[in-house]
Amino acid sequence: MLATPDWRLDDLGEDVYEPSEDTFLLLDALEAELPRLVGGSARLVVELGSGAGLVIAAVSRALQGGAHCVAVDINPAACRATQATAALNDARVEVIRGDLLECLLPGAIDLLIFNPPYVVTHADEIYQGDGINRSYAGGARGRQVMDRLFPQLPRLMSARSCFYMVVIDENEPQEIAALLGDLGFESSVVMRRRAGIERLSVMKFVRL
C-alpha cells in the first residue's frame, strides 16, 4: 500500500499548493499501480512540479530505496516544502529547482510523475512570477505548460519507461493521447474522479 505521507501547513506557507483532490487522486492511482512500480526496474524516478512533496515522498517510501527519487519544481517555496515533507516522512528525495526537465540528462528517467498546472487560465497568469501561480495556471485549455514538456519526452525518457500525469477534461485527454502516441507512448486512463467542477483523470503513458 502507498501510505499518504504527513505534511505540515507551516512547511508550505502561502506560496505552495496545498494537497487537494487532485493530489489524492494521483496518490490513489499510483497505489493502484504499485505492483508495477515496485516490480519494475526503475532506477531514476522523477516528479515534476512536486509542490508540497507528498507524492514523491510516498513513492520514495514505497520503493524503499530501490530507486533514486528526484523532485523538480520551479517554485523555490515548493522546493523547500518538498524537502521538508520528505524529511518529515523519512523519505529519500532529492530536490532540484528547474524549468520543466531541461536540466536532466537525456534518456535517464525510468518513471516520471507530473501533476501539471492544468487549470484553464489567461496565458499571462503562467508567467506572473514563480509562486503558487505555477502550480495551477495552465493557460489556454490548461495545456500550455504540459504542451512544452511533451516534445521533450522522447529525449528524456529511458526505453520502456512510464509516465503518469493528472489531467482534467478541458485539457482534451484524447488529443493528448494522440499526441503522445505520435511520440511513441501508449496511453491509458488509470483512474477518474469528479471533484467539484473538475473532472480529473490520471493518464498513464508507456514508452513502446
Partner 1 sequence: MKLLTHNFLTSRCLKGVNVGYPLKIVLGHVGELPQALIEDYESNEDFLKKVHHVLLEVDVINGELVCPESGRKFPITSGIPNMLLNEDEV
Query: What does the alpha-carbon distance between residue 207 and residue 121 come to, in Å, rounded to a whole number?
Result: 30
**Which residue's CB is nearer to partner 1, number 36 or number 97?**
97
> Per rule CB under 8 A, is residue 97 in the interface with partner 1?
yes
Regarding 103 and contact with partner 1 (CB under 8 A), the answer is yes
Given the complex with partner 1, which of 103 and 208 has the nearer CB atom? 103
In the complex with partner 1, which residue's Cβ is closer, 32 or 105?
A: 105
Among 80, 134, 143, 207, binds partner 1 (CB under 8 A): 80
SS3 at position 165 = strand
Closest of 152, 65, 66 to residue 104, by C-alpha: 152
Q: How far is the CB of 181 from partner 1 (least distance, A)?
A: 26
Options 29, 79, 149, 176; binder of partner 1; rule CB under 8 A: 79
Size (the chain), residues = 208
Single-letter amino acid code for the residue at 118: Y
CB-based burial label for 163 (10 Å; 0-12, 13-18, 19+): buried
Q: How far apart are CA 56 and CA 46, in angstroms?
A: 8
- Please give the Cα distance from 168 to 199 (Å, whole number): 5
Q: What would the x/- binding string for partner 1 be over residues 26 to 65, using CB under 8 A?
A: ------------------x---------------------
Instruction: Give the per-residue SS3 of 136-170.
Output: HECCHHHCCCHHHHHHHHHHHEEEEEEEEEEEEHH
| Cell numbers at 61, concatenated | 517510501
* Cα separation, 111 vs 121, whole angstroms: 29
Binding segment for partner 1 among 20-28, 90-98, 165-173, 191-199 (CB under 8 A)?
90-98
Least separation, in Å, of the C-beta of 190 and partner 1?
26
Residue 74 touches partner 1, criterion: CB under 8 A? yes
Question: For partner 1, which residue of 58, 104, 149, 166 counts as binding (CB under 8 A)?
Answer: 104
Nearer to partner 1, 61 or 204 (CB): 61
- Contact predicate 156/106, CB 8 Å: yes
Applying CB under 8 A, which residues contact partner 1?
Answer: 44, 68, 70, 74, 76, 79-80, 83, 94-99, 102-106, 108
